Amino acid sequence: MPPAPALVLVMLPWSMLLACTSSPKAREALIGDPALFVRSVGRGLPLVVVHGGPGSSHDHLEVIEDMAPEGYRIVSYDQRGVGRSEPLTSGSWLDLEAHVRDLDRVRYWSGSTQIDVLGHSWGGIVASAYAAAHPDRVRSLVLVGSGGLSKADHLRGAEALRSRREALEASGAMPDTPPEGIEPGCRYLWRQLAASYADPRALGRNPAPVSSCHPELNYQTWRAVGGYDLTQAVAAITAPTLVLYGREDPQAINAEKIAELLPGATAPTWLEACGHQPMHECPSAFEAALDAFYGDLDP
């Protein structure tokens, strides 16, 4: 069994009601230092979902709880400093190594020595870094609309998104106003998120991805991550891997390269008429892709 990281149940005044709750549907807790909000739904093997951002929360990925493959429970968490996790101080670490340590704390909380990991967007970068650092602790890896595995590839994805947004604005296909109920911290990026959808107006029909944003934390995290490059490290990943993208996702510019670099991956799986949020844009196709992948894994 891998050595267990320190695990501390944090009871803070602002967290009394979250620190240890349970219901027939969900088990929730705050763990470690800094405290991370964690949530487990269902029964079976732990499938840990790593949300995107950086600077957003896990909330909009709770839809995956209703898509859990047979025999799995969904374990999700808010990354350091966001959502219902403990607010960070100015001296907190935000680099990839810190996020890898946090994910290992979530693994330990799940009660399993080995987990299945699903990372979305920025979460795909964190999931890949974790699987490269701890290949023996990852049973399988799913990357959904993952960011690039290096800073250079991340910038390629950002440029593809910028170009798509400009083309949508020039054609008149971009909405004129942000979705109703958008969280104030998300106003700076709603156009960017809308452009990542196959249909940019779909964000208004489901504004969940802009329900929690921390722009300063986003900036500080990318600054701390710096010139990251996982392209060599991912050769250590031994787990079966699904590389899953919406066909219209600007981040898909890196899909083929990611699939080639990961030893356990085959060619990318494409979801047609879908963008960067397939769990919201094309949920049936997304769920079918998960069922097919997990159904083929050894028990």
Which tens digits make up the pLDDT trace of 169-197?
999 999 988 888 787 878 878 899 999 99
Lowest mean pLDDT among 30-39, 89-98, 250-259: 89-98
Amino acid letter for position 292: A
Answer whether residue 15 shows pLDDT above 60: no
β-bridge partners, 21? 28
Please give the Cα distance from 264 to 205 (Å, whole number): 36
The confidence band for 298, taking pLDDT boundaries of 50, 70 and 90, is confident
Answer whether residue 280 shows pLDDT above 60: yes
Q: Which residue has the tokens 């899909």?
A: 255
> The pTM is what?
0.90
Q: Looking at residue 234, which CATH number applies to its domain? A: 3.40.50.1820
For the segment 152-175, what is each residue's pLDDT rounded down to a tens digit?
999 999 999 999 999 999 999 999
The confidence band for 4, taking pLDDT boundaries of 50, 70 and 90, is very low
Domain membership of residue 210 (yes or no) is: no
The confidence band for 210, taking pLDDT boundaries of 50, 70 and 90, is low
Report the pLDDT value the prediction gives residue 186, as an integer from 0 to 100.
81
Domain membership of residue 49 (yes or no) is: yes
Burial per residue of 179-204, b for 16 or more beta-carbon CB atoms within 10 angstroms, e otherwise: beebeebbeebbbebbbbbbbbebbb
Lowest mean pLDDT among 31-35, 179-183, 243-247, 294-298: 179-183
The set of residues, in sequence order, having a beta carbon less than 8 Å from that of 244 and lying 6+ positions away, is 142, 143, 144, 145, 268, 269, 271, 278, 286, 289
Lowest mean pLDDT among 42-56, 90-104, 246-260, 265-279: 90-104
Of all residues in the chain, the percent with pLDDT exceeding 90 is 77
Report the pLDDT value the prediction gives residue 90, as an integer from 0 to 100.
66
32 with 10: CB under 8 angstroms?
A: yes
- Structurally, the chain folds into a number of domains equal to 1
Report the pLDDT value the prediction gives residue 91, as an integer from 0 to 100.
60
Answer whether residue 129 shows pLDDT above 80: yes
Domain membership of residue 214 (yes or no) is: no
Q: Is the pLDDT higher at 190 or at 253?
A: 253
Domain membership of residue 204 (yes or no) is: no
For the segment 31-77, what is each residue's pLDDT rounded down to a tens digit?
999 999 999 999 999 999 999 999 999 999 999 999 999 999 999 99
The confidence band for 299, taking pLDDT boundaries of 50, 70 and 90, is low
Please give the mean pLDDT across all residues of the chain. 89
Report the pLDDT value the prediction gives residue 275, as an integer from 0 to 100.
97
Domain membership of residue 40 (yes or no) is: yes
Domain membership of residue 286 (yes or no) is: yes
Domain membership of residue 131 (yes or no) is: yes
Answer whether residue 16 shows pLDDT above 60: no
CA 136 to each of CA 130, 147, 258: distance values in angstroms, whole numbers, following the listed order:
10, 23, 20
Ranges of beta strands (E only) in the chain are 20-22, 26-31, 36-41, 45-50, 72-77, 115-120, 138-144, 241-246, 269-271
Domain membership of residue 56 (yes or no) is: yes
Structural domain containing residue 119: 13-149+230-295
